[in-house]
Amino acid sequence: MKSVTAVINTQALISNIERIKGMAPHSKLVAVVKANAYGHGVITVAQALDSKVDAFAVARLPEALELRAAGIVKPVILLEGFLNDEDLPVIAEQGFYTAIHDQEQINALERTELAQPIHAWLKIDIGMHRLGAAKDEVKSMKARLEASDKVIKPLGLISHLSVADCPEQSAYNEEQINYFFEVAQDFTGDLCLGNSAGIISWPQSRTTYVRPGIIMYGISPYTDKTGADLGLTPVMTLKSSIIALRHIKKGDRVGYGATWTAPHDTILGIVGAGYGDGYPRSVPNGSPVLINGRKVPTAGRVCMDMLFVDLGPDSQDKIGDEAILWGEGLPVEHIANLCGTIPYELVCRIMPRVNMEVKA
Ligand SMILES: *Cc1c(COP(=O)(O)O)cnc(C)c1O
């Protein structure tokens, strides 16, 4: 019997990439594989996509080095840029592309000796107010970077949309896109704007490079849609097994805190997966788990290593039967909605003890 396993379907990954290429046919693809490829396993994902995409993007330097150690030679973009002066020679040597979002990073570049120049993309703030040059800094930061012999020319421009996934905020989204292109008029280098929701909803954000993350994994960036609604296939299926069965009576109280009381005599399934694997403890009673083709409700609090499902009084389910927690047949978007979070968080939270199984 299988304990908790995340099956990673690399065919689904590739079909999602083909779908994204259809959406943004004139853009180069930067596959966003930060946070262990959104919990899917960065090496598995990067190797499956290496011949299909133009570059990879991560948040931080150690993530980029992990890709190089696995034999990935494609450009790797550091979306957060670098944090320390000592990072710069590594970036130069490895040929990483780095976002430059702050004057302090340019100071670091100016004072650090480098054996070769680096690929830099100036990151501007167009409305998120997280990272990026403010409106009154763009010109001077651009001039400093262009004057530096440590920067490969032409300089690139990168930014991030804050409401691309909120169709009701179209005015604020358009303001951000228009401002990006106003700044871009002074750039001859690469432009990089669209994330998943941008690629789908905002054609103008399909720039020289686009940065799909969540849609590569077959998951929707919108709270009211699933990946399937967008023609995508889920890449991760999280599953476990029924490890025990209990016949309980009407009125029996189940689990820590006794938060669920059996409304009738029933058979309880104990599934061998819990929040210590990354299944959310915040899931409410009655959330679906897919067992033998039917959705059965969770019953009682999720434990660290196990959870309960009400299989019903007529259950024929057996110990060892598979329990799908999300993925094929049960969209992770639905589970995330029930928990009041986004699917990004659920897949990112897969714990190291979960078996990762690659399905080619
Ligand atoms: C994570 C991230 C992305 C990918 O976002 P998705 O919504 O998953 O497509 C793109 N750009 C930046 C800067 C990011 O941090």
Ligand 1 atom having least distance to the Cα of 160: 13
> Average pLDDT of the chain?
97
Q: What is the pLDDT of residues 278-305, one digit of tens each?
A: 999 999 999 999 999 999 999 999 999 9
Ligand 1 binding pocket includes 29 (Cβ within 6 Å): no
Q: Is 34 in the active site?
A: yes
Ligand 1 binding pocket includes 201 (Cβ within 6 Å): no
Q: Is 256 in the active site?
A: yes
> Given 135, 139, 153, 256, which residue is catalytic?
256
In this prediction, residue 102 carries a pLDDT of 97
ω into 154 cis (within 30 of 0):
yes
Do residues 36 and 42 touch, judged by C-beta distance below 8 A?
Answer: yes
Ligand 1 binding pocket includes 123 (Cβ within 6 Å): no
Is 2's pLDDT higher than 90? no
pTM greater than 0.95 (yes/no): yes
Q: What is the pLDDT of residues 315-328, one digit of tens each?
A: 999 999 999 999 99
Q: How far apart are the C-alpha atoms of 282 and 125, rounded to whole Å?
A: 34
Mean pLDDT, rounded, for 188-197: 98
Q: What is the pLDDT of residues 32-74, one digit of tens each?
A: 999 999 999 999 999 999 999 999 999 999 999 999 999 999 9
**For residue 152, how far is its CA from the centre of ligand 1 (angstroms)?**
24
Return the best residue to mutate from 97, 211, 345, 346 for the ligand 1 pocket (most ligand atoms within 8 A of CB).
211
Phi then psi for 221, rounded to 5 degrees? -80, -5
Percent of the residues in the chain that have a pLDDT greater than 70, as a whole number: 100
Is 168's pLDDT higher than 90? yes
In this structure, the residue with its CA closest to atom 4 of ligand 1 is 213
Ligand 1 binding pocket includes 213 (Cβ within 6 Å): yes
What lies within 8 Å, CB to CB, of 210 at 6+ separation is 20, 24, 27, 28, 29, 30, 192, 193, 194, 195, 198, 199
Mean pLDDT, rounded, for 177-202: 98
> Given 34, 123, 142, 239, which residue is catalytic?
34
What are 145-151's contacts with CB under 8 Å, separation 24+?
Answer: 145/100, 145/106, 145/109, 145/120, 148/106, 148/109, 148/110, 149/117, 150/92, 150/109, 150/110, 150/112, 150/114, 150/117, 150/118, 151/109, 151/117, 151/118, 151/120
Mean pLDDT, rounded, for 251-264: 98
